[in-house]
A and B are shown apart, each in its own frame.
Chain A
């Protein structure tokens, strides 16, 4: 056990820090650019020197670096420290790109990967349907090949970002006679067409980040399919694996915990900092036990990944651990913000630190993340069945 980095890695860290010192924030005329353009200019440079889009080949616009989880970790740490824009987030770069790299046709990689990792095109994911949530493979949205085009009819729901997306990657039933899982194909389609209607769904937080999407003879070319007909379920599993990885990152949890401690310092109880309250101290340290567990568990998974070893069943638990923590921290935060909890999360109030409103948002958001990407109960099924080797229940086995 040795938590320090070797000289080679420390040298790499220094190199990254030097690049950041020279490149971020942007200077001169570039400092006048709008925020997202600044980030885009910077990301282009970071890809050039090999710090971002490392797993994406150069011919598709990535920096094609040998896989090295420790270097990737150092880059994340240094970018975070410098508050520099890191790997582009969102469903396209984090889920579609790895899926295309693994299963996509050559022309699909050429056409889509570069613009996606540069943020020039935005994707949404068409998976869930009103009748198909946890039992996703029961989905009914149909696609039929008519004259060299897929014609799509049906409905998707919980589609994050559909109102701003340029394209969708989507699961559709294409093989009507095939068994449930084998009848699904993975299609790409343009969102900018008359056969698609997007209706926003307003969340309990008041924001509208996701949507219902209705398809009425929406169209996409015959070769905008990833994998073969009927292989969509398998192709989508590649993607879900990436989504779970994306959600279970301990860095966010640690950062949120630090924010919670800061909140306890500035919140008052009977005129004194809440952090002096013995009950609050107990709850904070009890939470920290879980936060550090998650953090060290991350160190161990990182070590295993660096040695090309499988993480084992702990890898199945990351999502549940981090969403549990997100909820527990938000509950403590609600107690700390006190009467601010009577107000709408987005309200900016005179005298109230803006972060208090964000914690009230988090109190609700943390429920959203416990449901998104597989509900907590589904996670417990996965841990029980794949992690602990317990038998599937009879009802799920039949379908």
Chain B
């Protein structure tokens, strides 16, 4: 019975945290956030050199062969530091190929994704909240024709994992005929999104069906939940720091019971919830019967908590919290991304209810 991290896992988180705080300084993050392109290739290269593209890729394909929990631990730290970049979409693409790809597809793509030679992403959404494999309608054939929305770093990716009708996948490469990417004015400027239009675009269909798609979804939900936990925990910390620094009426405002209770309430929302994503990640690799439901629960709960904590954090920072220059808004918008991407909390709660047989 051990529900805690290993020393190696602590070290993994510490390494990513060190890199993020040394390299992704608030100034640099701000420049990326305010910039037009939104992708700092040098920063991304550094994360890949730390091995962040390779964590959950098996050894035989050039990865570290670790588990979803390890990948999620990295996602938590990137969430906490609000690191801009394509980590999530790239990880989802790797997971999709790992779980739904043929041996040849794995051999071709996983080493390139692990090293970052190719930037991968996923094209799942079809608009109006249709994110789930069961919702996909894009027909699968020798070529693909259709439109996908909200593709993370679609404007930068070299490889697209496209969700197809009935929970299948096909691979398309950048530059293929009929493939058009249009950047969208995404609210979260640390994770840019684009729409993807395909017209008779050549593709490589993956053999995996709905069961693989379900696994990919579970893994992706866990990573979003981990990102959300990291962000929420950091916002709590930032709000507490602000309350200890800011002075009014001759005392630090954190001594006032009104604010103190708000911060305590935030802490009680955030801290006990860490185990939700830990457990869901653990279940993904070790308790198959609970994997789907615990992933849905973790995503629904943690992204909702993150959104509320982001609102609370703005309030705790007072007027400055409402400004563009305050970094709280960066987290606020990441919370909006985590909440909506792959389906809103209500959708996953309904799934969780159905999965329990309710």
Contact = CB atoms under 8 A, between A and B. Distances in A.
A1 B278 contact: yes
A278 B278 CA distance: 28
B1 A3 contact: yes
A288 B297 contact: yes
A389 B237 CA distance: 11
B301 interface: yes
A272 to B, nearest CB: 13
Contact of A1 (B5, B255, B268): B5
Interface stretch (A16-24, A205-213, A378-386): A378-386
A80 interface: no
B275 A303 contact: no
B260 A389 contact: no
Contacts of B350: 278, 281-282, 285
Contact of B264 (A285, A290, A380): A380
B244 A303 contact: no
B268 A3 contact: no
Contacts of A286: 300-301, 304, 345, 349
Interface in A269-327: 275, 278, 281-282, 284-286, 288-290, 292-297, 299-300, 302-304, 306-307, 313-314, 317, 320-321, 324
Nearest to A317: B268
A306 B3 CA distance: 11
Contacts of A37: none
Contacts of B264: 320, 379-381, 383-384, 387-388
A391 B244 contact: yes
A364 to B, nearest CB: 23
Given A292-B276, A317-B272, A390 B255 contact: yes
Interface residues of A, number: 55
B324 interface: no
A338 B261 CA distance: 34
Contacts of A285: 297, 300, 349-350, 352-353
Contacts of A1: 2-6, 69, 278, 282
Contacts of B300: 285-286, 289
B349 A281 contact: yes
A391 B254 contact: yes
B81 to A, nearest CB: 20
Contacts of B165: none
Contacts of A302: 1, 3
A295 B273 CA distance: 10
Q: Is the interface of A mostly helix, strand, loop or mixed?
A: helix
Contacts of B2: 1-3, 303, 306
Interface in A1-37: 1-5, 9
B267 A313 contact: yes
B248 interface: no
Contact of A2 (B1, B240, B243, B272): B1
What's the dominant secondary structure at chain B's contact region? Answer: helix
Given A281-B353, A390-B244, A292 B297 contact: yes
Contacts of B304: 286, 289
A281 B300 CA distance: 13
A387 B267 contact: yes
Contacts of B251: 391, 394
A294 B5 CA distance: 18
A303 B3 contact: yes
A282 B346 contact: yes
Interface in A121-166: none
B240 A321 contact: no
A393 interface: yes
Contact of A383 (B6, B252, B267, B297): B267
A342 to B, nearest CB: 27
Interface string B267-290: 110011111101100100011000
Contacts of B346: 282
B272 A321 contact: yes
B265 interface: yes
Contact of A296 (B256, B275, B286, B353): B275
A393 B256 contact: yes
A217 to B, nearest CB: 40
Nearest to A393: B255
B263 interface: yes
18 contacts: A1-B282, A284-B353, A285-B352, A289-B300, A292-B275, A297-B272, A303-B1, A303-B2, A317-B271, A320-B268, A377-B261, A381-B261, A383-B267, A384-B261, A389-B244, A390-B254, A392-B255, A393-B260
Interface of A: 1-5, 9, 70, 73, 261, 264-265, 275, 278, 281-282, 284-286, 288-290, 292-297, 299-300, 302-304, 306-307, 313-314, 317, 320-321, 324, 377, 379-381, 383-385, 387-394
Interface of B: 1-6, 69, 240, 243-244, 251-252, 254-257, 260-261, 263-265, 267-268, 271-276, 278-279, 282, 286-287, 294, 297, 300-301, 304, 345-346, 349-350, 352-353, 358
Given A381-B260, A388-B267, A390-B244, 18 more contacts: A1-B278, A4-B1, A9-B1, A278-B350, A285-B297, A286-B345, A289-B273, A289-B276, A289-B304, A293-B272, A297-B272, A299-B1, A304-B4, A377-B261, A383-B267, A384-B263, A391-B254, A393-B256
A-B pairs with the 3 shortest C-beta distances?
Answer: A296-B275, A289-B301, A299-B3
